[in-house]
C-alpha cells in the first residue's frame, strides 16, 4: 500500500461499510464523500487539495472518504467505477456526483458545493 501524503489543512473523515449509514446517510445537512484508493495516483495527488478545500469550507459542509480497496461492496453499491469519485449527499440522499481528478482548489470547491446551493445562491 502506498504511503499517505503528509497532513495539510483540515482532516477528512474516513468512513467504511460499518459507519457509512450513521456517518453519511443519517447525517443532517451536506456531506461530500470521496470514493478513493491510496493506490490511485490521482487520489494521492488530490489529498492536499482536498484538505485545503475542507479548511475553506470551515464546517459548512463535511467531507468524508471511502477507501474502495477496503470497502469494494460499498463502492459497488454506489456504482463507483473510477477513482476519485465524489458523491454529494444531503440529508441521506445523493444530490450530485463528479468523477475523475480535479487538481485545482477553486474547481474542486465549486464541484463539491454546487449541489448544496439553492437557486438564489444561498447555501442549504
Show me where the domains of the chain are located.
Answer: 13-115
Model pLDDT for residues 88-107, shown as the tens digit of each residue: 898 899 988 888 876 565 66
CATH superfamily membership of 13-115: Glutaredoxin (3.40.30.10)
The catalytically annotated residue of 43, 66, 74, 108 is: 43
The structure's pTM equals: 0.78
Please confirm, yes or no, whether 17 is among the known catalytic residues.
no
What does the buried/exposed string (b/e) look like for 26-44 if buried means 16 or more CB atoms within 10 Å of the residue's CB?
ebeebbbbbbbbbebeebb
What is the per-residue pLDDT for 119? Answer: 45
Compute the half-sphere exposure of residue 93: CA atoms within 13 Å on the CB side of its CA.
Answer: 3
Model pLDDT for residues 33-70, shown as the tens digit of each residue: 999 999 999 898 888 888 888 888 777 778 899 999 99
Please confirm, yes or no, whether 54 is among the known catalytic residues.
no
The catalytically annotated residue of 31, 33, 36, 40 is: 40
The Cβ of residue 7 has, within 10 Å, a number of other Cβ atoms equal to 11
Amino acid at each position: 500500500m502506498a504511503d499517505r501524503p503528509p497532513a495539510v489543512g483540515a482532516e477528512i473523515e474516513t468512513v467504511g461499510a460499518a459507519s457509512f449509514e450513521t456517518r453519511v446517510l443519517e447525517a443532517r445537512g451536506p456531506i461530500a464523500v470521496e470514493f478513493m484508493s491510496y493506490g490511485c495516483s490521482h487520489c494521492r495527488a488530490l489529498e492536499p487539495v482536498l484538505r485545503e478545500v475542507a479548511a475553506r469550507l470551515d464546517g459548512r459542509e463535511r467531507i468524508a472518504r471511502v477507501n474502495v480497496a477496503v470497502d469494494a461492496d460499498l463502492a459497488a453499491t454506489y456504482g463507483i467505477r473510477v477513482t476519485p469519485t465524489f458523491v454529494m449527499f444531503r440529508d441521506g440522499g445523493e444530490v450530485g456526483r463528479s468523477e475523475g481528478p480535479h487538481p485545482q482548489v477553486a474547481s474542486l470547491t465549486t464541484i463539491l458545493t454546487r449541489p448544496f446551493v439553492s437557486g438564489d445562491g444561498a447555501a442549504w
